[in-house]
Structure formats: structure tokens, C-alpha cells
Amino acid sequence: MAALRLPPLPTIREILKLFRLRAVKQLSQNFLLDLRLTDKIVRKAGNLTNAYVYEVGPGPGGITRSILNANVAELLVVEKDSQFIPGLQMLSDAAPGKLRIVHGDVLTFKIEKSFPASLKRPWEDDPPNIHIIGNLPFSVSTPLIIKWLENISNRNGPFAYGRTQMTLTFQKEVAERLVATTGSEQRSRLSVMAQYLCDVKHIFTIPGQAFVPKPEVDVGVVHFIPSIQPKIEQPFKLVEKVVQNVFQFRRKYCHRGLGMLFPEAQRLESTGKLLRLADIDPTLRPTQLSILHFRSLCDIYRKMCDEDPQLFGYNFREELKQKKDKQQVKEEEEEEESCGL
């Protein structure tokens, strides 16, 4: 099949002028105009010849062009901001039958039935010939990757087809967190959640000045390949709860955050039991806990939840709020009594 080359088109800068496109600050939009950089992002995604690609947040279409020039079978783009649709439509006209445009929100868009069922691969096989690529607005990147990590855990959404690969941009600081190793300063909730489910690589950094408008930070390009076997074999929500609780007190010893998994009346005893059975030193800091540590913690916490079915639903903030509400009622009653009411 002859390789598709797009016909001569206005540059991305000219597209911005032609359609009077403006970056919306509230949506943290930044446009990548240098086609050498968009080509590099696409190259790093892997061999896209005859691949099916899902691009999120295409904006004025810089990466979109590079993907189309990589001779893909089909490109599906999902764009929330209506101002970009006419420019994308121009690209679609230049590449007949190759580009599908959906005006919608990536956080709610259901991709499960967007590509042919014949592309599905068993989870244990090589990844399917489907790729997710995107220069994500900073405001969306973290909630979206958490959503997709949950999809990986459940093998649904874009991962109903198998171990779909992702090549995505993040603020450099977020990219560093995603790949941070045990003991590093950047180690965080994101590090653990991404690494227990995927092979994650920070493949290169794009300087902020390459974008329009220039963000205050540089941008990291990160590649994800879902693992055949997750490093923690527990439900995503359970892992997320344990990891979130540990890292909410990232400067404290790990027992501080783990204690918040348990109601106050049993906190000391249950936290001690969890750490003892998981064989973890209570004076380790959250950043010092490895994936193996978290696996032990999640496995033991799961057993404790099985023994006490109400435990998983416990939220320490709700208990704190109830205590405050009771205290407030008590103070109001005492005030009424002192006033002789």
C-alpha cells in the first residue's frame, strides 16, 4: 500500500491565524508548533505503519499531521474545544478516509467499540496494533492517566483490545514522578500506581519555549506499556486507597498514613497488625517503600477487609467531620444552658 503523504498545507502557525485560534488558559492549553518535535513524539511511539491510533487533545493538529504522515491505517481524534474542529476537518479532507474526528471529552469518551474487534489481542500476547498518543492539557493529564491505569487494571476502555501502548506528554515534574524509583525525592502516589501496572519510561524532555503560549515548565514525553502481570494483584480501588493514605503524610513515617485506613478506636492496634504481618519497618518514609512493600501492605489490608467487611468503606475524614459536628452540637447545647434557655 502506498504511503500517505499529506498535500502541502498551511503551517500550524498559519492555522492558528487562519482560524483565529487562542489557547484557553483555564484549559491549560499549549500548542506544539515545531513539526520536528511532533515527528519525534510519533517516532518514539513505535512503528505506526498500518496502526490504529487514538489521539487525545489534538488542538490545532501538529501531532495529528505527524501521525498521518506515519502511514497509519486510521487515526481517531477526540477534541473537546470546538474552536479546533474546522482546522482538524481541513486535515481530514487532506487525508480521505484516514482521520475520524469526535467532538467530545476524553474523560468520558468510550473507545471500547471505536476500532475493529479483529484488532483485539489476548492480554498475554504482544500489544495490539493500537496506540494512544497525546499532548495533554496539564489540567487533564493526571486524572486521565489515573482513569486509564484503572482501565488497565480492569482490562477495559482502551485496554479492552489488549495491552495498548500510550505515548503522552506531562509537565516535566509529573513525568519525573511517574518514573521515580524507590527512595527518590519525586517518588509519589503516581509512581506506585503507574509502575505496578506498566513499564513506564520518560523518553525525552521538550523545553517549554517550544510551546505557544510558553508554559512555565518543561514537558516530559512518557511511554507506557501495560504489564502482562500486575505487580500488585488486588483491585485497583484497594491499591489506590492504600497508596493515597501512605503518601498523604509523605514527610512522616509510613505508619502515620497507614493508620488512617482504620477507625480511631482501633487505629493503633490495627496499624501495628498491618505492619507486622506485612513485615514492614514502621519508620520507613513513604518514598522508601518499594512496589514489593506496597504489595505486602495491600495483600494484608485485603485480608483485614475480608475479616471486617465495613473496613474498606471507612473514611477517616468522615469520622473527623462527625466528631467536629458532635463537638459543635455539644458546645451549642452548653451555651444554651449557660444562657438559661
Q: Is residue 101 within a helix (H) or strand (E), and if so which, with residue range?
A: strand 99-103
- pTM for this predicted structure: 0.90
46 marked ligand binding residue: no
Domain co-membership, 270 together with 139: no
Q: How confident is the model at residue 320 (pLDDT cuts 50, 70, 90)?
A: confident
Q: How confident is the model at residue 42 (pLDDT cuts 50, 70, 90)?
A: very high
In a domain, 150, yes or no: yes
Q: Which residue, 333, 257, 271, is CA-closest to 304?
A: 271
Query: The dihedral of CA 67, 69, 72, 75: what is its sign?
Result: positive
Backbone torsions φ then ψ of 257, nearest 5 degrees: -70, -40
**Rounded CA gap, 329 and 323, in Å?**
10
The last residue of one of the domains, among 178, 206, 226, is: 226
Per the CB < 8 A criterion, the answer to whether 86 and 79 are in contact is no
Output the pLDDT for position 1: 46
Domain co-membership, 277 together with 197: no
57 marked ligand binding residue: yes
| pLDDT surpassing 80 at residue 332 | no
Domain co-membership, 176 together with 27: yes
In a domain, 135, yes or no: yes
Domain co-membership, 286 together with 210: no
Cα angle vertex 149, ends 270, 116, to 5°? Answer: 145
Whole-number mean pLDDT of the chain? 91
**Number of domains within the chain:** 2
The last residue of one of the domains, among 178, 195, 226, is: 226
**Rounded CA gap, 269 and 179, in Å?**
34
In a domain, 326, yes or no: no
The 8-class DSSP code of residue 45 comes to T
In a domain, 335, yes or no: no
Q: What range does the domain containing 304 cover?
A: 236-320
pLDDT digits (tens, 9 = 90+) for 75-111: 999 999 899 999 999 999 999 999 999 999 999 999 9
| pLDDT surpassing 90 at residue 215 | no
Domain co-membership, 69 together with 117: yes
**Rounded CA gap, 42 and 131, in Å?**
10
Mean pLDDT confidence for 199-218: 92
Domain containing residue 267: CATH number:
1.10.8.100
| pLDDT surpassing 80 at residue 117 | yes
The last residue of one of the domains, among 202, 226, 250, is: 226
In a domain, 312, yes or no: yes
Domain co-membership, 253 together with 188: no
Domain co-membership, 152 together with 261: no
DSSP string over 228-280:
SS-SS-S-HHHHHHHHHHHHTTTTS-HHHHHHTTS-GGGHHHHHHHHHHHHT-
Output the pLDDT for position 136: 85
Output the pLDDT for position 298: 98
In a domain, 338, yes or no: no
Domain co-membership, 19 together with 94: yes
In a domain, 329, yes or no: no
Cα angle vertex 336, ends 334, 339, to 5°? Answer: 110
For residues 211 and 132, the model is more confident at: 132
Categorise residue 175: left if φ over 0, alpha if ψ from -120 to 50, beta otherwise: alpha
Domain co-membership, 18 together with 147: yes
Domain co-membership, 82 together with 21: yes
Q: Which residue, 258, 262, 264, is CA-closest to 278?
A: 258
What three-state secondary structure class fits 341? coil
50 marked ligand binding residue: no
Domain containing residue 188: CATH number:
3.40.50.150
| pLDDT surpassing 50 at residue 272 | yes
105 marked ligand binding residue: yes
257 marked ligand binding residue: no
In a domain, 186, yes or no: yes
75 marked ligand binding residue: no
For residues 139 and 176, the model is more confident at: 176
